[in-house]
Amino acid sequence: MRPFQMALLVGFGVVALLGLVVFSTYKGSDTAEQDMLASGITIWGTLPADAFTKTIYDVTRTDPRFQSVSYLQKNPATVDRELLEAIADGVSPDLLVISNETLYQFMPRLYAIPYASFSKRTFLDTYIDGAEVFMKTDGIYGIPFIVDPLVLYWNRDLFATVNLTQPPTTYEDLLRTYIERLRILENNTITQATIALGEHNNVTNAKQIFALFAIQSGSDMVREENNQFRVTFAEQVEGSSAIPGVAAAQFYTAFADPQSVYYTWNRTLPDDISLFSANGLAMRIGFGSEFATIRDRNPNLNFDIAPIPQNASASVRRGYGTYYAFAVPQHAKNPAGSLFVAQTLASAGAVETIATQLGVAPAARSALAAVPENPIDSVRYSAAIIARTWLDPKPTESNAVFRDMIESITAGRAQAGSAVNNAVQRIRNLF
């Protein structure tokens, strides 16, 4: 159960509303509005600083007040402790960049913007569906601005070698056509893998891919109910006999089962990014932001990205992404100014710069309305629109939970059903 901050909401409701009103009505003539950022706004985050520094500079050209806005890049391993120390010393940052993976740990130290100040209707109309992870019963815990969606990376040369011209659009196509044609087995040793799925230790985004499969099977992973968080991926979905988490685990681990016709991955192989970069892997599921990493590792690699495959029978398309938002700490000295800066940087016209620099997509509907000319960005944008996510209570600990779940299945120590049920209980204990 998480702490709710009812006593703080009344006071913050005034400043939050002030921030929203000023953001929408500022004309540059009122002294109070001119002085809103005079004391400076400091943003803390773990994302690379260059993207924010460039965006702030660009905004400053039209709004000189942003000269007093700065971004400090922090170490993910120490930012929580640094925030506590800053609060104790009376020098709290004015904004934090949080994600769906860090929201829960920071919630006790964040303002929740009341719905009286920022209505649910306005939020839903402004941001894409996956950003709802920042909406909780007592208010909005962050102003969403970017999403890093999962996409399908594919090697054009390996595809062309076997006369394949396009990546799979459905999982049925993947299994029926692509596994056998792209896989090379020599004495039952994989010398060329079709897709990196089935293990945990050498699949960079194993936890997120499992969540993707569960979400595509109908789960919401975690749901807020009665001021508590309910872990749902082992619950049957209405209208279906399947249990999303079990279906996801069975599908995922089949690719690492030597007895399966879909066998194409095992734990002896290099990690998926390294093998893909070395021309030894035809496909991998990775975040849009990883494109630059692969390009830098092998500038001569002929590869591309495509939307995540869907189930052929799916009536709606679903993807997965990591969502980021600007959040206001409880001890921020200027909450109205903080919110003004957050709204400005998250809005169309500014957020595109951040997204481009980081290799991700905006979370604002208005910024996603136009398809970018850049072919890589166009895939990221379309993937973002269907990307869902979940409230991860403790990323490091939950990663260990899903590692144990996957390895218990691949090693034959547990069936998918019992492994998933055990994972649910362990995730529940993290809240």
Q: What is the mean pLDDT of residues 197-216?
A: 98
Tokens of residue 302, six digits: 């002929």
Task: Kindly list the distances between the CA atom of residue 77 and the CA atoms of 46, 70, 307, in Å, as whole numbers in the listed order.
Answer: 9, 21, 32
Running DSSP on this structure, what letter comes out for residue 410?
H
Q: What is the mean pLDDT of residues 33-43?
A: 83
Q: What is the mean pLDDT of residues 204-231?
A: 96
Quick check: is 15 in a domain?
yes
Q: Are residues 261 and 395 in the same domain?
A: yes
pTM value surpassing 0.85: yes
- Write down the pLDDT at residue 87: 87
Q: Are residues 108 and 236 in the same domain?
A: no
Q: Are residues 219 and 299 in the same domain?
A: yes
Say whether pLDDT at 426 is over 60: yes
Instruction: Give the range of the structural domain holding residue 78, as residue numbers without chain letter.
Output: 6-147+321-385
Q: Are residues 237 and 379 in the same domain?
A: no
Say whether pLDDT at 23 is over 50: no
Q: Are residues 294 and 204 in the same domain?
A: yes
Q: What is the mean pLDDT of residues 195-203?
A: 98
Quick check: is 309 in a domain?
yes
Read off the pLDDT band of 90 (50, 70, 90). confident
Q: What is the mean pLDDT of residues 338-357?
A: 95
Quick check: is 135 in a domain?
yes
Quick check: is 210 in a domain?
yes
- Write down the pLDDT at residue 8: 32
Domain count, the chain: 2
Q: Which of 255, 257, 261, 259 is nearest to 282 (CA)?
A: 255
For 367-418, the pLDDT digits (tens) are 999 889 999 999 999 999 999 999 999 999 999 999 999 999 999 999 999 9
Say whether pLDDT at 7 is over 90: no
- Write down the pLDDT at residue 36: 81
Q: Are residues 310 and 234 in the same domain?
A: yes
In this structure, of 23-32, 204-213, 264-273, the range with the lowest mean pLDDT score is 23-32
Running DSSP on this structure, what letter comes out for residue 129?
G
Running DSSP on this structure, what letter comes out for residue 326?
E
3-state secondary structure 276-310: HHCCCEEEEEEEHHHHHHHHHHCCCCCEEEECCCE
Of 367, 385, 403, which closes a domain? 385
Q: Are residues 143 and 180 in the same domain?
A: no
CB atoms within 10 A of CB 109: 18
Running DSSP on this structure, what letter comes out for residue 89?
T
Q: Are residues 37 and 143 in the same domain?
A: yes
Provide the CATH number for the domain around residue 216: 3.40.190.10
Q: Are residues 246 and 270 in the same domain?
A: yes
Running DSSP on this structure, what letter comes out for residue 176?
I
Q: Are residues 367 and 257 in the same domain?
A: no
CB atoms within 10 A of CB 21: 13
Helical pair 6-25 and 335-346, crossing angle rounded to 10 deg: 60
- Write down the pLDDT at residue 31: 55
Q: Provide, rounded to the nearest whole percent, the portion of the chain with pLDDT above 70.
A: 92
For 359-371, the pLDDT digits (tens) are 999 999 999 998 8
Quick check: is 1 in a domain?
no
Quick check: is 331 in a domain?
yes
- Write down the pLDDT at residue 398: 98
Say whether pLDDT at 26 is over 90: no
Q: Are residues 337 and 295 in the same domain?
A: no
| Residue 304 · residue 156 · CB < 8 Å | yes
- Write down the pLDDT at residue 381: 98
Please tell me the distance from the alpha carbon of residue 266 to that of residue 54, in angstroms, as a whole number.
42
Is residue 224 helix, strand or coil?
Answer: strand
Q: Are residues 83 and 28 in the same domain?
A: yes
Say whether pLDDT at 25 is over 90: no
Q: Mean pLDDT, the chain, as a whole number?
A: 91
Quick check: is 202 in a domain?
yes
